[in-house]
């Protein structure tokens, strides 16, 4: 039986790591968990929501602008959406009462939720905490 006990990191491809770090820390309120450069010149930067065990690794890539399938929980979906919209973030309307299809798969339609796009166009789903 495997001994895997948690998801440690999720990789998000970004074109510009500095811009991405600014967005995830200043706009989304994440903290920098780790930030260093390998001898090869590649930078490893992890950001994490306060108190969360799983971090996001912002990896420099030309493949940015994807449907990440990353889902973040919020205790105030409506408030967060309003705050992000006021900051100029590309956000969808509040969803949750109709059937939603994301990446070809239906999502449960009960909790309030919305999509946002980071500066690279990566989509992230924000869902009301259960």
Average pLDDT (50-58) is: 96
Domains along the sequence of the chain with CATH: 9-128 (3.10.180.10)
Measured CA distances, 72 to 3, 82, 107 (Å) = 25, 16, 14
The rounded percent of the chain whose pLDDT value lies above 70 is 93
How many CB atoms are located within 10 Å of the residue 122 CB?
A: 20
For residues 112 and 15, the model is more confident at: 15
Residue 127 pLDDT greater than 60, yes or no: yes
How confident is the model at residue 97, as a pLDDT? 65
pTM across the whole model:
0.86
Give me the residue label for tokens 């919209």. Answer: 85
Largest CA distance in the chain: 50
């Amino acid at each position: 039986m495997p001994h895997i006990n948690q998801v440690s990191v999720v990789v998000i491809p970004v074109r510009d790591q500095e811009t991405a770090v600014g967005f995830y820390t200043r706009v989304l309120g994440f903290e920098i968990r780790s930030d260093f450069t390998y001898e090869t010149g590649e930078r490893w930067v992890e950001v994490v929501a306060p108190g969360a065990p799983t971090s996001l690794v912002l990896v420099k890539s030309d493949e940015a602008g994807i449907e990440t399938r990353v889902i973040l929980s919020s205790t105030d979906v409506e408030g967060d959406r309003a705050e992000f919209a006021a900051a100029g973030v590309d956000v969808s309307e509040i969803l949750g009462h109709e059937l939603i299809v994301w990446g070809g798969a239906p999502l449960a339609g009960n909790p309030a939720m919305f999509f946002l796009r980071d500066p690279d166009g990566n989509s992230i789903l924000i869902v009301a905490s259960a």
